[in-house]
A = this chain, B = another copy of it.
């Protein structure tokens, strides 16, 4: 015996399939007595809607897909929480696709969208392929998309972001305010759109203070723990060590802290550290990390709301949310 269908329910309840369908979706238009009979038949048969048939008929799936570049990156989790709450409030199921920054996986999820399995998508990272610019997307018939944070502005989708350049500026200005003059920056990967913005903010802050931006004070990085450790090695090896470092994310700062501790370099006495993101563990770093907090839950929620608007036929503008400099124990006077 295979899955019961709406027809089985109808037969048992002694009504037509239309009435069963109405019982399930618009219960108030069917007579109370009938409704009871139908619902009891539903229980009796253990009936469940066939989502494929429903979705085929309704031409929508009541699902939203969130494409995450790396689910292991703690930065994304709170964003997902924000998305989920808005999505479920709107009756949509949120599903997460982890692209692992791989082209193949990304393509798999794009196909998912193209096949109509989701009514829209939220992008948490710059895609590998260029399928997200508006003309291409329309040509492909892709459902609407909203990007969060890591995406280029040109002809791309509606976006939720913070002022990364301004935030970097604020972080570095904080260091300057503490008397630091030789301040290094550990950047993100070149491929990431945020990298350039944060570098720009770093440089501008230096300039505002009459300082020179020196190439040898700009360290490469890739957002990973290891590149934080590498940054420490480079820091150690320099003749004129910077008295402070601004990291493009918290994870790299944590890698640096671990290496510094192991080498007996004290933070913030010997060197001040500022991170970016305020991830979960930032408060429990040793020492607790000064960083830039992004309103992650709110970013997710805002993106989901934008997506719902687009699905509803509107054409909302991109949104920029406020960041916050969270001063903890990893920064101090020179």
Interface residues of A (CB under 8 A from B): 3, 46, 48-56, 61, 63, 65, 70-72, 74, 76-78, 80-81, 84, 88, 93-98, 100, 104-105, 108-109, 111-112, 114-117, 139-141, 225, 228-229, 254-255, 257-258, 261-262, 280-281, 283-288
Residues of B within 8 A of A54 (CB): 52, 115
Q: Are B46 and A139 in contact (CB under 8 A)?
A: yes
A81 and B53 CA atoms in complex are apart in Å by: 31
Copies of this chain, tallied across the complex: 2
Q: How far is the CB of A148 from chain B (nearest CB, A)?
A: 15
Residues of B within 8 A of A114 (CB): 48
Residues of B within 8 A of A229 (CB): 284
Q: How far is the CB of A78 from chain B (nearest CB, A)?
A: 7
Q: Are B61 and A72 in contact (CB under 8 A)?
A: no
Extra inter-chain contacts (11) besides given A51-B116, A72-B77, A225-B283, CB under 8 Å:
A46-B139, A48-B115, A51-B112, A52-B117, A72-B81, A80-B98, A81-B98, A95-B95, A225-B280, A258-B283, A281-B281
Q: Pick the contact of A105: B84, B255, B284 (CB < 8 A).
A: B84
User: Given that A46-B141, A284-B258 are known contacts, is A93 also in contact with B109, CB under 8 Å in the complex?
Assistant: yes
Residues of B within 8 A of A3 (CB): 116, 141
**Chain B residue with the shortest CB-CB distance to A58:** B52
A81 and B109 CA atoms in complex are apart in Å by: 15
A114 and B51 CA atoms in complex are apart in Å by: 9
Q: Pick the contact of A115: B50, B70, B84, B100 (CB < 8 A).
A: B50
Residues of B within 8 A of A56 (CB): 50, 52-53, 56
Q: How far is the CB of A223 from chain B (nearest CB, A)?
A: 12
28 pairs of residues in contact across A and B, judged by CB atoms under 8 Å: A3-B116, A46-B139, A49-B115, A50-B115, A51-B115, A52-B53, A52-B117, A54-B115, A71-B80, A71-B96, A72-B80, A72-B81, A84-B100, A84-B105, A93-B109, A94-B98, A95-B96, A96-B97, A225-B280, A225-B281, A225-B283, A225-B284, A254-B284, A258-B284, A258-B285, A258-B288, A261-B287, A286-B286
